[in-house]
């Protein structure tokens, strides 16, 4: 995993895992890797990993079972609402950025269509 040096690593990890859970890559109730394994995998210090996981736990996306490890929340409502929240937050931020550049909604939609077409082509 590549880290952007302008944002705390632990927050970048939080975002990444959040997406994985919310998009279903980690299923509800699934066991997560141990702190040490996860840290090794991402090449960060276990403490940094610990901090990221504590944050996710505070948000209710994962929970800890003493001595047996951490698990993805089984609460589909929380997971779903965080998904929606994220999508809306991304969209609002994006629209704000584009409006500041004086893009109108129809221009934005056209641009999305164009870029999407290019990307679809590249994947072929």
Partner DNA sequence: GTGGTCTAGACCACA
Q: Give the residues lining the site for DNA (CB under 7 A).
A: 5-6, 8-11, 32, 34-37, 44-48, 50-51, 53-54, 64, 66-70
Contact mark string toward a copy of itself, 29..68, x via CB under 8 A: -----------------------------------x-x--
Secondary structure (DSSP) of the chain: ----TTS-HHHHHHHHHHHHHHTTSSPTTPBPPPHHHHHHHHT--HHHHHHHHHHHHHTTSEEEETTTEEEE---HHHHHHHHHHHHHHHHHHHHHHHHHTT--HHHHHHHHHHHHHHHHHHH-
CA dist list (Å): 41 to 1, 7, 38, 92, 115? 9, 20, 5, 33, 33
Taking CB under 8 A as the binding criterion, the range among 33-41, 70-78, 111-119 that sits at the site for a copy of itself is 111-119
| Shortest separation between residue 77's beta carbon and DNA, angstroms | 23
Q: If binding is defined by CB under 8 A, does position 1 make contact with a copy of itself? A: no
- Residue 27 or 77 having the CB closest to DNA: 27
| Shortest separation between residue 4's beta carbon and DNA, angstroms | 10
Q: Which of 41, 42, 111, 122 binds a copy of itself (CB under 8 A)?
A: 111
């Amino acid at each position: 995993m590549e880290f952007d040096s302008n944002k705390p690593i632990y927050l970048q990890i939080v975002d990444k895992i959040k997406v994985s859970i919310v998009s279903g890559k980690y299923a509800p109730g699934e066991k997560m890797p141990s702190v040490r394994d996860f840290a090794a995998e991402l090449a960060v210090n276990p403490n940094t990993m610990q901090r990221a996981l504590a944050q996710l736990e505070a948000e209710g996306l994962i929970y800890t079972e003493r001595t047996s490890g951490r698990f993805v929340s089984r609460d589909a409502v929380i997971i779903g609402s965080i998904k929606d929240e994220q999508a809306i937050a991304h969209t609002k931020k994006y629209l704000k950025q584009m409006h500041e550049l004086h893009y109108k909604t129809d221009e934005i939609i056209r641009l999305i269509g164009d870029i999407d077409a290019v990307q679809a082509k590249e994947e072929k």
